[in-house]
Amino acid sequence: GYREPLNANEQSKKDDNPLNVRARIENIYAKNGFESIDKGDLRGRFRWWGLYTQRKPGYDGSWTGDENTDMLEDEYFMLRVRSDGGALSAAALRTLGGISTEFARDTADISDRQNVQYHWIDVKNMPEIWRRLDEVGLQTTEACGDCPRVVLGSPLAGESLDEVLDG
């Protein structure tokens, strides 16, 4: 059961499974643009699909805790792509490079968790970006937000005869 009162993250998850927002991104928000995005999705559920609003230019990190988040939010997103264990195929790397070139102003960062982060992502491009990532086995699911993260693997998985468990 739930313990009441719930914090904002838990209430949002209780109201709607955060993973359901992908359908709204593809079928509503990508077609109707940033202004059509529900604030509950924008500031919570989008993160379950690797999307954060990008801070508007001119606001440094000291503004992050400010309560007026509307003034800080740009209409572009930071998108995080998972690469559990940091292993990427040549096809995946080419796809990531193409997304950077076509949708992220030639930018891509590698995070501490070995994920790839893009900036300047327009919500209108998300269906195509997800299609390309799906083709090479990459995903943005649960790359951010209040969800399970940081899946690590041993480079020796499957090699040791006495390992305790291996998939």
User: Are residues 13 and 42 in contact, defined by beta-carbon separation less than 8 angstroms?
Assistant: no
Instruction: Please state whether beta strands 51-55 and 73-81 pair in parallel, antiparallel, or not at all (unpaired).
Output: antiparallel
Distance of CA 153 to the CA centre of its chain: 21
Specify the residue for token string 């995005």: 37
Strand order in the sheet with 109-110: 51-55, 73-81, 116-121, 109-110
Band (63; pLDDT cuts 50, 70, 90):
low
- DSSP letter for each residue of 23-49: HHIIIIIHHH-GGG--HHHHTTGGGGG
Domains of the chain: 9-59+68-135 (3.90.480.20)
Overall pTM > 0.85: no
* pLDDT at residue 124, as a whole number: 98
- pLDDT at position 144 over 60: yes
For 5-61, write each residue's pLDDT tens digit. Answer: 888 888 888 888 888 999 999 999 999 999 999 988 998 899 989 999 887 777 776
- pLDDT at position 148 over 60: yes
Q: Identify the residue with better confidence: 140 or 2.
A: 140
For 68-125, write each residue's pLDDT tens digit. Answer: 666 777 899 999 999 877 789 999 999 999 999 999 999 999 988 788 999 999 999 9
